Amino acid sequence: MLLDTLYINGSFYTQNVRRPRAHSVGVHNGRIISLDDELPAALFRDVVDLAGAAVVPGFNDAHCHLSYVGQALVQADLRPAACGTMDELLATVERACLAAPEGAWVQGGGYDQNHLGNRHPTAEQLDAVSHGRPVWLMHNSRHMGVANTAAFERAGYPGRRDVAAPSGGAAPADADGRAVGLLQETARALVMDAIPGTGVGDVAEMVGAGSDALLELGVTSITEPGLGAPQHIGHSLSDIAGYQAARDAGKLRVRATVMPYLTTLHGLGDAEQDEASGAGHVARMGLDLGMRSGFGDEWLRLGPAKILSDGSLIGRSAFMCCDYQHVADEPEGNRGLLQFPAQELRRRVIGAHRAGWQVATHAIGDAALDVVLDIFAEAQQLYPRPDARHRVEHVNVAGDDQIRRLASLGLIPVPQGRFISELGDGAARALGPERTHLAYRVKSLLDAGIEIPASSDAPVVSGDPLLNIHDLVNRRTSSGADFVPEERISVAQAVRAYTVGSAHAVHEEHYKGSLAPGMLADFVALTEDIYTVPADAIGDVRVAATVVGGRLAHGRLQG
């Protein structure tokens, strides 16, 4: 019997500290079985020559909305890269409306008012280009969006009148009391609830389109940060069925660890007993049959339970210790807001912790971070659980004391390097000169001794790992300005984060993230060696081939 494949003549950066470099990797049944010349080529059915290419373990995006990446491929693309001005945005919307069947909803996503003269599109502007179709455009933060008059009408608000925002949301109105179109945070549901639901088959299609796009970028694993809460995040209560359908159909081509949104969990029936046992106890929160983080296999498994605490930094809704730098159109003293009252966050997070879940809490502002740190500290005090690896997603704004606390509580912050270039100018405007140095910190997290993952939050920004690594190393905004350069990290640190760190952040480092016998045979051959190219050229390096489970999943290799 022959073994599967021997990949020879590569320049492997294994990310295994005991054996950091190798020139060959032997693969059988999807796993690595040998390095270098440990097994002779004659034992393998196929021998593939990597022609000296630099090879790293497959990139693992620790916070990637795979299904939204796919969805963005089938909706109007309004990201600044595609629509640089309001006129271009409106022209794109008009094209999408003209292409849509009569009466069908037209959706777009990715716009950023920071690139549109600090103005969101208005319902009136959209009405002029929408030819009667209801239109919903999602902001690139996904924490807000804008609707046109036809969309408000479908949602039961003729003439955009009497639109009352629920708590935790905002629906600004003009002098006549008509909603201007923007719906923030929980108020998004006022219109989004009227959009026909996304079915299991739709989610499977998105997952397929998204995974193909990511394979081209060298991404072989992702963690999907939030499913099952259509008002907040994800598409429907059956999101995981969509993933499973994609897998059954062979469309799930990157490995996925998925986070159910915390509102999909429910009390596990010990509330009464808790009441009897006194104050401080919190009822366990879980899914039926006791499922929790880790259930599944190396292709599709349950990760942490996800919950949002606050909003977006550039959308100026993240919860801050200090006022946002004031801009026109905004009331004085904006500090953002929490999505849930702190007590409800506490009940849900501690309840999930107690039921054995890893918990991932979105926290962008420093005030939200304080709330979350307190909750995780209390959770461990009440119900100690070693190596829980609870996560704090984004940590966009953090002080030194907060970083020390993250480290001492064993929490994993999940930063996004690509925010620096694509969102950095907007972040600096939101925070002002005095507080910008607290933004998008990465080196300080490493210096605190934390094993950080790397992630993109795609499609909020590009999911391209090489662009992300470029930003982690160079830290320049799209306008060319240095952005807190003291937080630059090395290529080696960035690659480790993208591989070992991201696997560790979901308890998968024992079979993923480094290249050694027994590990998954997921790796990426690059067109140039990112460890040796000049720092400002990292973003020009491309993926030549992506191998998943020992098989070529994208690109070309010489057999």
Give which of 182, 200, 180 is closest to 242, Cα–Cα: 200
Q: Shortest gap between Cβ of 393 and Zn ion (angstroms)?
A: 7
For residue 309, the minimal CB distance to Zn ion (Å) is: 13
Q: What is the 3-state secondary structure (H, E, C) of 167-212?
A: CCEECCECCCCCECCEEEEHHHHHHHCCCCCCCHHHHHHHHHHHHH
Minimum distance of Zn ion from residue 141's CB (angstroms) = 9
Using CB under 5 A, which of the segments 14-22, 84-92, 178-186, 222-230 binds Zn ion? Answer: 222-230
Residue (134 or 311) nearer to Zn ion, CB: 311
C-alpha span between 394 and 438 (Å, rounded): 13
Residue showing tokens 């605190």: 448
* CB-nearer residue toward Zn ion: 225 or 417: 225
| Contact track, Zn ion, 239-278, x by CB under 5 A | ----------------------------------------
Contact region with Zn ion (CB under 5 A), list: 92-100, 225-233, 320-328, 543-551:
225-233
> Could you give the angle at the alpha carbon of 476 between the alpha carbons of 108 and 542, nearest 5°?
70
Place of tokens 């549901």: 189
* Count of residues near Zn ion by CB under 5 A: 2
349 vs 519 by CB, closer to Zn ion: 349
Report the candidate in 365, 448, 465, 455 with the shortest Cα–Cα distance to residue 414: 455
61, 202, 366, 457: residue in contact with Zn ion (rule CB under 5 A): 457
| 58 versus 225: smaller Cβ distance to Zn ion | 225
Nearest to 180 by CA among 140, 148, 136: 148
What is the per-residue binding string for Zn ion in 329-368, x denoting contact by CB under 5 A?
A: ----------------------------------------
Q: Which is nearer to Zn ion, 225 or 336 (CB)?
A: 225
Residue 497: CB atoms within 10 Å: 28
Minimum CB separation from Zn ion for residue 254, in Å? 17
Pick the closest to residue 366 from 324, 326, 408 (CA basis): 324
Spatial separation of the C-alpha atoms in residues 396 and 388, rounded to whole Å: 22
Closest C-alpha to 519, from 311, 298, 340: 298
When the beta carbons of 284 and 391 are compared against Zn ion, the nearer one is 391
Outline where DSSP puts E strands in 261-343. Answer: 266-267, 285-286, 300-302, 305-308
> Which region among 220-228, 382-390, 398-406, 495-503 touches Zn ion (by CB under 5 A)?
220-228
The string over 161-192, giving b where at least 16 C-beta atoms fall within 10 Å of a residue's C-beta and e elsewhere, is eebebeebbbbbbeeeebbbbbbbbbbbbbbb
Q: How far is the CB of 348 from Zn ion (least distance, A)?
A: 18
Stretch that binds Zn ion, among 183-191, 302-310, 452-460, 513-521 (CB under 5 A): 452-460
Nearest-approach distance from CB 313 to Zn ion, in angstroms: 12
Pick the closer one to Zn ion by CB: 129 or 505. 505
Rounded CA-CA distance 151/380 in Å is 46
CB of 327 to Zn ion, least distance (A): 24
Report in angstroms how near the CB of residue 261 gets to Zn ion at its nearest: 12
Q: Which residue is nearest to Zn ion (CB)?
A: 457
Nearer to Zn ion, 209 or 222 (CB): 222
Beta bridge partners of 228: none
We find the least distance from the C-beta atom of residue 226 to Zn ion, in angstroms, to be 7
Q: Find the binding residues for Zn ion in span 182-211 (CB under 5 A).
A: none
Kindly tell me which of 35 and 240 has the beta carbon lying closer to Zn ion: 240
Q: Which is nearer to Zn ion, 225 or 463 (CB)?
A: 225
State the nearest-atom distance from the C-beta of 315 to Zn ion, in Å.
Answer: 13
Residue 84: CB atoms within 10 A of its CB come to 12
> Can you tell me the distance from the alpha carbon of 438 to that of 402, in angstroms, rounded to the nearest whole number?
11
- Which chain residues interact with Zn ion by CB under 5 A? 225, 457
